[in-house]
Every structure is written in structure tokens, then in C-alpha cells.
Amino acid sequence: MATRKGATSKLVIKIAAGMNAAGKATYKQRTFTNVNPALTDEDFLSIGNKLAALQSEEVGGIVRQDAASIITG
């Protein structure tokens, strides 16, 4: 049976950075690491929206990234 070990989460806020030569929007990222992986998606979104409100540039998205090792045991 496979199990997850060492789960981590980070919150990424995509910030508008302008346009490329083809006229497509480009983005920078603000990354917040070591976020409790036990938080619900609703909690992540709530925190992300509050942090997004502090940005001076337009926010293009809020992303949750989870990672963990998969081991057999």
C-alpha cells in the first residue's frame, strides 16, 4: 500500500507583469511556502484573496501547490 510522507503546501499568487511580443499577458509569482497542508481549499482561497488584496498589480490567479513523497509500507 502506498502512503504519503512529508506533505508540504505552498500558496502562489500570479501577478500581472505586462504583455509579451505576441500580446499575451505575462505573470510574476508571489510564493508563500510552508503553509499547513491540512488547510482546506477554502482556507487557502480565503488567505490568497486577503494577500491578493495587498498587491498593487492585477492578480491573475491563486494557486495551491501540494507535494509529498509516496512510499510503500
Which pLDDT value is given to residue 4?
86
Is 73's pLDDT higher than 80? no
Contact present, 17 and 55 (Cβ < 8 Å): no
Q: Range of 47's domain?
A: 2-72
The model's pTM is 0.83
Exposure pattern of 19-53 as b/e (b: 16+ CB <10 Å)? Answer: eeeeeeeeeeebeeeebeeeeeeeebeebbeeebe
pLDDT in tens, 15-53: 999 999 999 999 999 999 999 999 999 999 999 999 999
Total count of domains within the chain: 1
